[in-house]
Amino acid sequence: MIRIGFGFDVHPLVEGRRFWLGGIEIPHTKGSLGHSDGDALIHALCDALLGAAALGDIGQHFPDTSLEFKDIDSKILLGRTVELLQRHSFGIGNVDITVCLQRPKIAPYIADMRTTLAKVMHIAENQISIKATTTEKLGFVGREEGVAVYAVALIYALTNG
């Protein structure tokens, strides 16, 4: 059985925070504001994976009301999400992610993001697609007030034999 999940996340960009995206730190004058490290890419990806498996959403598993997850590295959340899928006998086929961000340009960092995510998810880099786009200076993304990320995940049921 093959399943598809969709995830979306938004975080405001503010001064005084580090900018984490796709599990790596990207140099920028602003960073994502969030309960965890604010990695909108990983949060959208977790939601896509959880949605594909019909296992709820990131807020159910890692609530922003819990001190356990305050400032947590989002790679830990992704690792736990992958473990949850494995416990429910699902494997990951591929993921496709689109980042909407006016600045900074993230093209130079995409290869490192794919490498990092592949390690955490225990899949090959060629199972991970990350693309970036701007909003042509429209809306909160265009005004450099935030980052938005869309993610799609294809998972499959693991079978014996």
> What CATH number corresponds to the domain at position 135?
3.30.1330.50
Structural domain including 91 reads 2-157
The first and second tokens of residue 106, run together, are 């993230």
CB contact at 8 A, 74 and 21? no
Tally DSSP H helices, then E strands, for the chain.
5, 7
Residue 4 has a CB neighbour count (10 Å cut-off) of 12
pLDDT category at 160 given cuts 50, 70, 90 is: low
Instruction: Please write the tens of the pLDDT for every residue from 104-151.
Output: 999 999 999 999 999 999 999 999 999 999 999 999 999 999 999 999
Provide the 10 A C-beta neighbour count for residue 161.
2
Which residues lie across from 24 on neighbouring strands? 21
Q: Count of domains in the chain?
A: 1
